[in-house]
Amino acid sequence: MKFFIDTADLDEIREAEGWGVLAGVTTNPSLYAKTGGRLADFEGHMVRICEVCEGLPVSAESQAKTIEDMVADARRLSKLAPNIVVKLPICEEALTACHTVAAEGIRVNMTLVFSPTQALLAANAGARYVSPFVGRFDDIAEDGIGQLASVVRAVKNYDWAGRNVDGRVEIITASVRTPNHITQAALLGADIATVPLVALRKAVRHPLTDQGRASFDRDWQKVLDAQ
């Protein structure tokens, strides 16, 4: 499973990029707002992200509400950099817009997916990525991982050749909050997990690793003291 980082913060992206584990970036309007971003700088900011992780897919989300505006956004955003993926929240308009721009070779990440039917419709409309959300189910005391399992099984049942420019659909596990979400997504065969830096840091750590490092340090000090 590949790791994307779920942030619009350039420092966080640089940090994860520095670990050598990064395969892409997802942003959304809330994450951009969190950086203090202004509308006038939105596209410039997306370009800067694309420059930091050259060649890796970077999802930039459209806030358009009509098919025409979504198509126009997708065309404009996709010209910002070769690695831009246009993110559209699933709805009837987004399916039509996705179908139109996918035929032009534009990669779409269909987001806010909460059911297998939404994922299948997105894939049929030409989405290159579908993003089922896990944590938001858990937030309302429902089973996010169980829902993800259904999406993975449904999408992996079919061959998506010819539906988008790459002829395949990758599942991005989104709304990831914990290392367990990452583990379960990998065990289910999700292609990607998009993870905020705070959850990535948690995934690096383990109490037994900390304990082991501390005891190695103590014992190594004995070696140094014996010189």
> Can you give the binding site for ligand E4P, defined by CB under 6 A?
6, 26, 28, 111, 131, 133, 135-136, 174-175, 194
Position 132, amino acid: P
Distance of closest approach, residue 112 Cβ to ligand E4P, in angstroms: 8
Nearer to ligand E4P, 183 or 212 (CB): 183
Distance of closest approach, residue 215 Cβ to ligand E4P, in angstroms: 36
Nearer to ligand E4P, 6 or 73 (CB): 6
Q: Please answer whether residues 173 and 185 qualify as being in contact, where contact means their C-beta atoms are separated by less than 8 angstroms.
A: yes
Distance of closest approach, residue 87 Cβ to ligand E4P, in angstroms: 7
The separation between CA 218 and the C-alpha centre of its own chain, rounded to angstroms, equals 40
The separation between CA 68 and the C-alpha centre of its own chain, rounded to angstroms, equals 25
Nearer to ligand E4P, 135 or 179 (CB): 135
Q: Any catalytic annotation for residue 87? A: yes
d(CA 49, CA 29): 15
Catalytic residue among 34, 79, 87, 156: 87
Catalytic machinery residues: 87
